[in-house]
């Protein structure tokens, strides 16, 4: 458990690691806690560290370009909405990490290589909401009934080091840039750690294409 400071936050350092502060649980893919070797906790984001998930300054040798390119506009303006029976699916493609939980687990709603790729009438509201809650990037969310407010489960602030993939964030973890500006908070998000995303600091699925490995 990272406990430096009080406000859970992750700062994207300029061309360097993520600086993790506040009360945030750091865990392995199997859910077991990872003990940080020191504080502040510095997590590798160039993909080259020999001490993953922690930074070993390899980014300096690699001359890592970690320039942030993600859209800072309002999430609501990026989302497409799909109205179903008692449920509305909200889809923000700009932050999708392509984990595949949606298409793998509910193919009658989330359809690969089709447009529109979402059929909100393909399953019950209960089935759809259960799958959306598994979306680690927060690209998918949902609202119920006539409400337009997305439903989010309260979660302990957590950083999960996914296997051969991004850092999955849960809970009220603020992501900020070196200049102090922040991204609109979301309960779920995925941060790039392979170094190759074109939507930094967020994952865009590049780790799949470059064969990134955890260790």
The 10s digit of each residue's pLDDT in 62-91 is: 999 999 999 998 999 999 999 999 999 999
Backbone angles phi, psi at 24, to 5 degrees: -130, 130
The 10s digit of each residue's pLDDT in 122-140 is: 999 999 999 999 999 999 9
Q: Are 191 and 18 in contact (CB under 8 A)?
A: yes
DSSP character for 205?
S
How many angstroms separate the CA atoms of 158 and 23, rounded? Answer: 9
Mean of pLDDT values over 6-31? 94
Residue 172: band (very low, low, confident or very high) from pLDDT cuts 50, 70, 90: confident
Q: Would you say residue 210 has pLDDT above 90?
A: yes
DSSP character for 184?
P
How many angstroms separate the CA atoms of 125 and 35, rounded? Answer: 39
Q: pTM to 2 decimals?
A: 0.94
DSSP character for 213?
-
How many angstroms separate the CA atoms of 12 and 69, rounded? Answer: 12
User: What structural domains does the chain harbor?
Assistant: 75-144 (3.30.70.20)
Q: Which two tokens stand for residue 82?
A: 């799909």
How many angstroms separate the CA atoms of 36 and 50, rounded? Answer: 15
């Amino acid at each position: 458990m990272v406990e430096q400071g009080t406000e859970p936050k992750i700062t994207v350092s300029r061309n360097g690691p993520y600086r993790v502060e506040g009360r945030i649980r750091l865990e392995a893919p199997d859910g077991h806690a990872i003990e940080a070797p020191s504080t502040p906790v510095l997590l590798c984001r160039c993909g080259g560290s020999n001490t993953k998930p922690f930074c070993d300054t390899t980014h300096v040798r690699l001359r890592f370009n970690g320039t942030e390119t993600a859209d800072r506009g309002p999430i609501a303006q990026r989302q497409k909405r799909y109205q179903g029976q008692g449920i509305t699916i909200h889809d923000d493609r700009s932050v999708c990490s392509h984990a595949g939980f949606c298409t793998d687990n509910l193919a009658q709603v989330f359809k690969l290589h089709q447009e529109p790729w979402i059929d909100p009438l393909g399953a019950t509201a209960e089935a759809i909401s259960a799958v959306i809650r598994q979306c680690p990037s927060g690209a998918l969310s949902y609202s119920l009934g006539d409400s337009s407010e997305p439903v989010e489960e309260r979660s302990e602030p957590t950083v999960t080091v996914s296997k051969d993939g991004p850092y999955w964030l849960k809970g009220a973890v603020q992501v900020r840039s070196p200049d102090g500006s922040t991204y609109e908070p979301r309960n779920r998000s995925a941060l790039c750690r392979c170094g190759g995303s074109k939507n930094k600091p967020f994952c865009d699925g590049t780790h799949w294409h470059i064969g990134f490995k955890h260790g």
